[in-house]
Structure 1
Amino acid sequence: MSSTFRSLQYPNFRLYFIGQSLSLIGTWMERIAINWVVYSISHSALMLGVVNFSGQLPTLLLSPYGGAMSDRHNRYRILLTTQIAAMIQASIMATLILSKVYSLPAIMCLSVVLGIINAFDTPARQSLMIRLIDDKSDLQNAIALNSSMVNVARLIGPAVAGILLVTVGSGICFLLNAISFLAVIACLLLMKLKPETRPAATDTVWQGLKSGFEYLKQARDIKLIILLMAFTSFFTMTYTTLLPIFAKDIFKGNAGTYSLLNSLSGLGALAGAVYMAGLKSTKNLRHTVVYACMLFSASIAAVALCSKLWVALIFICFSGLGMMTQIAGTNTFIQTTVDNRMRGRVISFYVMAFMGMQPLGSFVVGLAAHHISARHVLLIEGLCGFVAAIVFGLCLKRSAAQQIAHSAEEPAQLIP
């Protein structure tokens, strides 16, 4: 266990871990509450897709720009600024919900604002990770612990939100999320980071974006791993858009049922993150990512076929395990492989694939579920993700074979 949690020995990472843990519990509470509020108002799968689309579209459009900015400016200051901005956004949302003057357009507008903030926050936060630990060999462990933290929050947040939604209503969920940002801001202010030293940028932001894209084209394995994440994000990770429908209409439950589905998915994801934290080698990460994607997609397809809630809970737990293993494996592979000069830009492409493709998928899923049954849509999502895992697994295998062949040819070229 001491090996699994070894990154917590570093004070800066420990502060980051504590602050983010508390803040993310609030974030997951708001995510559950906002989907429940939207579906309770509209009773429309399409509106669930539209709200998720509006909240995540800015991440798709602006993440590359946010990544380029994080490579040019102080990532710590960017992160502190975005967290303060997110606290202000959350406070406005909480005020509207508690005063009962909210509407779907207001919720969508505030979701767009949060999406813009996240487009700059996520690349800076992920790029800053390497500065929070002293021994770079512990980077993989730090990334996995970060994923564990996200999933502990994903386990606790929906469970607390479900209780609050049933007992006191949705407003308190939004209020607690706004308060939770104080924890991460305080921990950021307590950090003691060495000044960043990097060459002054001589090119424009757009030139930097172009060079990042050119680098990604040459780094074939990173490109394939990111593309797999984009396909999974579009086809499979958008299953959460349909969970309120499954909870309320298919399994005939209430807000507690909805939070239970999310919590069991979080429990599986936590297991996946702990598994990744215990890994001591990055040698087989490509295989791990592909197999995890297959598990995730197959489990989602199985949930679509379930008629009993308790059976669906088992499969959704396995889906969380596969999903988080893929996410943590992809992040670890990129962070341990990418050139440090390109870190922010490449991570921004990963963020665009991971978070940016979900709004498009959410909109399509909501639109499809509006016309055909949610069960059929979820089944199609799972099957598409499974096929994508097989295709990209074969591409990665071919890429590895080409690299071995190229390495074998190089010494021969030196012989006259």
Structure 2
Amino acid sequence: MSMADTHTSGSFAALRQPVFAVLWAATVLGNTGSFMRDVASSWLVTDLSASPTAVALIQTAATLPVFLLAIPAGVLSDILDRRRFLICVQLVLAAVSGTLLLLSQAGALTVEYLIALTFVGGVGAALMGPTWQSIVPELVPRAQLKGAVALNSLGINIARAIGPAAGGLILASFGAAVVYGLDVLSYVFVIGALLWWKRPRAADDALSESFTGALRAGLRYIRASRELHRVLLRAALFFAFASAVWALLPLVARQMLGGSAGFYGVLLGAVGVGAIGGAMLMPRLRRWLDADGMVLGAALLSAAVMAALALAPPQWLAVVLLLLLGAGWITALTAFNSVAQAIVPDWVRGRGLAVYLMVFNGAMAAGSLGWGLVARAIGLPAALAASAAGLAIVALLMHRVRLPAGEADLQPSHHWPEPAMSEAVANDRGPVMVQTAYRVLPQDRPAFLEAIRRLSQERLRDGAYAWGVMEHTADAEQIIEWFMVASWAEHLRQHQRVSHADADLQTEVLQFHRGPDKPQVRHFLAL
């Protein structure tokens, strides 16, 4: 049975794909080890320093590299063999945990070492994140993509439910060295799963991109994609305010709630359990709410939890509140992730998702540091209350900035004809000017210009660095659309990138053409 013929209904249908199931299970195990490591590091820093800034810096060190390196990581995920790249990153992460193991065993861990090694681990996470997300469309049919994205979020939160609680208990019972050792062991299983995956070798492509060219193309796409801009804006504001609870939770558990390392692990485990419950309810939520409704509900629920934590509730109630926080957190994450996956085409998927991860982690890093400074200035309860109020207000205001539906068909259409050439053209020649001549009746001009300006976004996303439209001075019905591309090879890549959704938009533009033949397309090369 082909992948396309596989039964696609149900939230867990993607797990019927063997490779996805194995890699998903390995990722859950690897993330469980990472959460165990993180809870040990977060708690150890409270032993070494009582400063809220030092505690918040651990969160910042973990997320700042993703902000700094996400775009280069996305470029690498689009131009390198993703399987081999992931194996190399896993080896780096194993080395980080191995170093923490040796330092903790020797009693040599300091705040500086914890922050530095957490930063290196963040570099590994920055390199890994876009690539893990980019391989999902390779593992499941398109009909199962949203379900696979939700399963990835569920897997992270299964690990969040198990890892912190287990990490806190093992830390309290056996010490940090055992926690770090188990994390190293988890990477062995992840690397084994990647070695088992026999990823098809990509065909040789004469138009393959260099790192610099791929970086330019990715930035050009991101700059021109208005749909992606809306997702990034909404995500940045949500995570900047919601980051407060993650940055301050170790201090909330220890100072406000009087808990131990084991209790802190239970709180984080409650977030994971709540996230699992939220993931199970999400198919029902989608029947009633779109992505905007889910993000608004998640923001208001998270704000209510933070406001309640600011009142220093009893420990049992704090656990219940963290269950609710987990449900809200996975709802927001899944909504943002699903939309981002749905609006980015395959050719730039790693780079587009890298920017989303950069914004997510940048907001978390800046928010964590900022709320740590606020807590030092006005106290933990006041900082939590301020972040809760800010999150609720921003969520209500930004609800008017609608998220994209993500239903466009972004698969390549290959409907552009081959350019007419008198002789072969070297790939590095350029720049290239492409002109398309239309004949448009005067009464149709306003509607035509509106349609072709929407088409300009496709030209700019897929390779053009300049675009314009002009009228003929001696013929009012003749309108020329032009765009500039850096090289002949980049224009040929445009032919491969244009999607079915773009083809539909071009059809809309062509309905205004009144010439006897199709619009004339001409190509010009710089001399």
| Match in the other structure for 1:100 | 107
Tell me which residue corresponds to 1:395: 401
Aligned to 1:31: 38
Counterpart amino acid of 1:248? R
Q: 1:310 to 1:87 in 2, by over 3 A?
A: same
**Equivalence for 1:368:** 374
Equivalences for 1:1-400 in 2 at 5 Å? Answer: 3-133=10-140, 135-197=141-203, 199=205, 204-276=210-282, 284-396=290-402
Deviation per CA, 1:13-63: give whole Å up to 9, x if none.
011012111111111111111000001111121101122222322111110
Q: How many Å apart are 1:269 and its aligned residue?
A: 1.4
Can you list the C-alpha shifts for 1:164-204, whole angstroms capped at 9, x where unaligned?
12222222111111111111111111112222348455655
Change (3 A) 1:78 1:201: farther
Query: 8 Å contact 2:168–2:262 — kept in the other structure?
Result: yes
Structure 1 stretch displaced more, 177-186 or 289-298:
289-298
Where structure 2 has 5 or more consecutive residues not aligned to the other structure, the ranges are: 1-7, 409-446, 452-507, 515-527
**What is the TM-score normalised by the length of structure 2?**
0.72
Q: Is the 8 A contact 2:307 2:384 kept in 1?
A: yes
Aligned CA distance change for structure 1 residues 304 and 213 (closer, same or farther; 3 Å): farther
Partner letter of residue 227 of structure 2? D
For the 8 Å contact 1:144–1:277, the answer to whether it is kept is no
8 Å Cα contact 1:7/1:13 also seen in 2:
yes
Larger Rg belongs to:
2
Contact 1:141 1:278 in 2 (8 A): no
- Cα RMSD (Å): 2.7
- 1: CA distance, partners of 2:215 / 2:390: 31
The residue matched to 1:396 in structure 2 has which SS? Answer: coil
The percentage of counterpart residues that share the same residue type is 28
Rounded to whole Å, the distance in 2 between the matches of 1:290 and 1:199 is: 44
The answer on whether the counterparts of 2:100 and 2:177 sit within 8 Å (CA) in structure 1 is no
What is the deviation of 1:281?
Answer: 7.9
Relative to structure 1, the CA distance from residue 171 to residue 343 in structure 2 (aligned partners, 3 Å threshold; closer, same or farther) is same
Cα offset, 1:283, TM superposition? 8.9
Moved more, 13-22 or 303-312: 303-312
Question: What letter corresponds to residue 84 of structure 1 in structure 2?
Answer: L
Tell me the TM-score normalised to structure 1 length. Answer: 0.90
Deviation digits for residues 391-413 of structure 1 (CA, Å, limit 9, x no counterpart): 2211117x88xx9xx99x86799
**Cα-to-partner distance string for 1:196-253 (whole Å, 9 max, x where unaligned):** 3484556553443343333234433332122222222222124122111111111112
Matched AA of 2:19: N
- What per-residue deviation string (whole Å, max 9, x for no partner) do you get for residues 306-337 of structure 1? 43222222222211111111111111111122
Deviation at 1:280, TM superposition (A): 7.6
Change beyond 3 A, Cα 1:207–1:375: farther
Change (3 A) 1:60 1:10: same
Contact 2:93/2:121 (CA < 8 Å) preserved in 1? yes
**Equivalent AA in structure 2 for residue 26 of structure 1:** G
Query: What is the Cα deviation at residue 82 of structure 1?
Result: 0.6
Q: Is the 8 A contact 1:233 1:358 kept in 2?
A: yes
1: CA distance between counterparts of 2:227 and 2:105? 48
CA change 1:20–1:202 in 2 (3 A) is: closer
Q: Is contact 1:90-1:177 (8 Å) kept?
A: yes
Residues 208 and 301 of structure 1: CA distance in aligned 2, closer, same or farther (over 3 Å): farther
Distance 1:306-1:250 versus aligned 2 partners, 3 A rule: closer
The secondary structure found in structure 2 opposite 1:305 is coil
Deviates more, 1:226-235 or 1:8-17: 226-235
Partner SS for 1:395: coil
Compare 116-125 and 385-394 and name the one that shifted more. Answer: 385-394
For 2:293 and 2:286, the matched residues in 1 are separated by 15
2:399 counterpart SS class: helix
Between Structure 1 and Structure 2, how many residues are aligned? Answer: 409
State the AA in 1 paired with 2:97: A
1:278 Cα deviation (Å)?
A: 6.8
Matching residue's letter, 1:126: Q
Partner secondary structure for residue 51 of structure 1 = helix
2:454 is matched with: none
Q: Distance in 2 between matches of 1:33 and 1:273?
A: 27
- Aligned residues of 1:224 and 1:392 also touching (Cα < 8 A): no
CA distance in 1, matches of 2:221, 2:204: 19
**Distance of aligned partners of 1:65 and 1:147 in 2 relative to their CA distance in 1, 3 Å threshold:** same
Flag the 1:97–1:259 CA change in 2: closer, same or farther, 3 A. Answer: same
Q: Letter of the 1:245 partner, please give it.
A: L
Amino acid at match of 1:127: S
Q: Is the 8 A contact 1:127 1:343 kept in 2?
A: yes
CA distance in 1, matches of 2:145, 2:204: 20
- Bigger RCO (CA 8 Å, 6+ sep): 1
> Which stretch shows the higher mean deviation, 80-89 or 207-216?
207-216
Letter in 2 for 1:263: G
